[in-house]
Amino acid sequence: MRRQVVIIGSGPAGLLLGQLLGRAGIDTLILERSTREHVLSRIRAGVLERGTVALLEKAGVAERLHREGLVHSGVELAFDGDRLRLDLAALTGGAGVSVYGQTEVTRDLMEAREAAGRPTVFEAGDVEIRDIETACPSVSFTVHGERRTVACDFVAACDGFHGIGRRSVPEGALRTFERVYPFGWLGLLTDAPPVTDELVYANHPRGFALLSMRSPTRSRYYVQVPLETRAEDWSDERFFDELRLRLPAGMASRLRTTPSIEKSVAPLRSFVAEPMRFGSLFLAGDAAHIVPPTGAKGLNLAAGDVHYLSSGLIEHYREGSDAGLDRYSERALGRVWKAERFSWWMTSMLHRFPGTDAFAERMQRAEFDHVASVRSAAANVAENYVGLPF
């Protein structure tokens, strides 16, 4: 069997890449370790930058997003009960973000792929990538007990942080940068109308809290918790009690206790692997970098990588030029590091760090006051939040 591009992973990065390449007439095979149902049941990101929305439009999968997604032209920050609304539209010349769950993005992309008859192998086990230093790489995998090998021109590793792609690069060829934060987020999803029309990121002496949503009837809430926290130790009641304590007074009184649909703990990490290409292998999305979710950049960065990688591959097949592929790593990393900076800054300002001193706490407050009182500082946050241009 031979394909032009083998994509590993059917998360948003892999599916979006497959869709953009497929529409350009490039033949792809997606290999996914999990079942289709498992991929579609994962609750993750929910805020789409304007560039991500434009890319989904280009991929022909934005019809439901425009119908059901919520366009937000503002976002709120809170510090010890003080509130600050950032008017994203006014601060950026009209831009905003769209609230539409990653699960829905994945479903739209998967259905488009299936409708076009493009192949995906689910439950592909023991994926092995070979000969990436040559122009004839291959990928082997096991499905229904049978071992298969596919030869290809390129391999795109869109297989997340724990995938096989990054680990297939010879030792010493990658440089990695990492910061692990000493806390996680406990998230709760519930069918209740959002407390506020816009997202609220709050720093409180008891820790960070976030009011987010997926639709006009579905809310997603988070509280900062110690790393060792287990979701099953938190009843819904305990979660809502804690969340209420961390919110500004007017908001806490509007919070309704409705049963959770899902509850999970996500650790917070910053991570970058450089470069994002080794020979015929390209890394995209979480396979190459992780951001803490404060700032809502993870899914959007994956889309940014796919923008650069798909245009490089299309240029290769249409024009016989490798200029875009040769610049892929440099262009993607330029944008990745800016999003890493923003996500780190948001995380640093909004969380309570164990063992921190009074000076560090005053610095957090000064950051908040600076954004609240200096328009250029607010504009800087807004421009990063709606997403830097590709």
Ligand X SMILES: Cc1cc2nc3c(=O)[nH]c(=O)nc-3n(C[C@H](O)[C@H](O)[C@H](O)COP(=O)(O)OP(=O)(O)OC[C@H]3O[C@@H](n4cnc5c(N)ncnc54)[C@H](O)[C@@H]3O)c2cc1C
- The binder of ligand X chosen from 293, 304, 312, 324 (CB under 6 A): 293
- DSSP E strands, 191-235: 200-203, 209-215, 218-225
- Dihedral sign of CA atoms 184, 190, 194, 195 in order: negative
Instruction: Please report whether residue 340 would count as binding ligand X according to CB under 6 A.
Output: no
* Closest to 66 in 3D by CA, of 101, 100, 40: 100
15 is written with which tokens?
Answer: 């599916």
Instruction: Please report whether residue 101 would count as binding ligand X according to CB under 6 A.
Output: no
- The binder of ligand X chosen from 22, 51, 298, 324 (CB under 6 A): 298
Q: Is 293 a catalytic residue?
A: yes
Instruction: Please report whether residue 164 would count as binding ligand X according to CB under 6 A.
Output: yes
Q: What angle do CA 91, 94, 99 make, to 5 degrees?
A: 95
- The binder of ligand X chosen from 8, 213, 272, 349 (CB under 6 A): 8
Q: Whole-number minimum distance, CB 320 to ligand X, in Å?
A: 29
Instruction: Please report whether residue 39 would count as binding ligand X according to CB under 6 A.
Output: yes
Do 240 and 116 meet the contact criterion of CB atoms below 8 Å apart? no
- Give bridge partners of residue 110 from the DSSP assignment: none
- Which is closer to ligand X, CB of 80 or CB of 221? 221
Instruction: Give CA separation, 20 vs 120, 178, 280, 309, in Å.
Output: 15, 31, 19, 10
C-alpha 355/C-alpha 351 separation (Å) is 12
- The binder of ligand X chosen from 102, 168, 190, 384 (CB under 6 A): 102
- Which of 201, 221, 222, 328 does the annotation list as catalytic? 201
Q: What are phi and psi of 260, to 5 degrees?
A: -80, 150
Instruction: Please report whether residue 124 would count as binding ligand X according to CB under 6 A.
Output: yes
- Which is closer to ligand X, CB of 159 or CB of 242? 159
Instruction: Please report whether residue 168 would count as binding ligand X according to CB under 6 A.
Output: no
> Which amino acids are annotated catalytic?
72, 201, 293, 297, 385
Which residues would be at the binding site for ligand X (CB under 6 A)?
8-14, 31-34, 39, 44-45, 102, 124, 127, 158-160, 163-164, 266, 285-286, 293, 296-299, 302
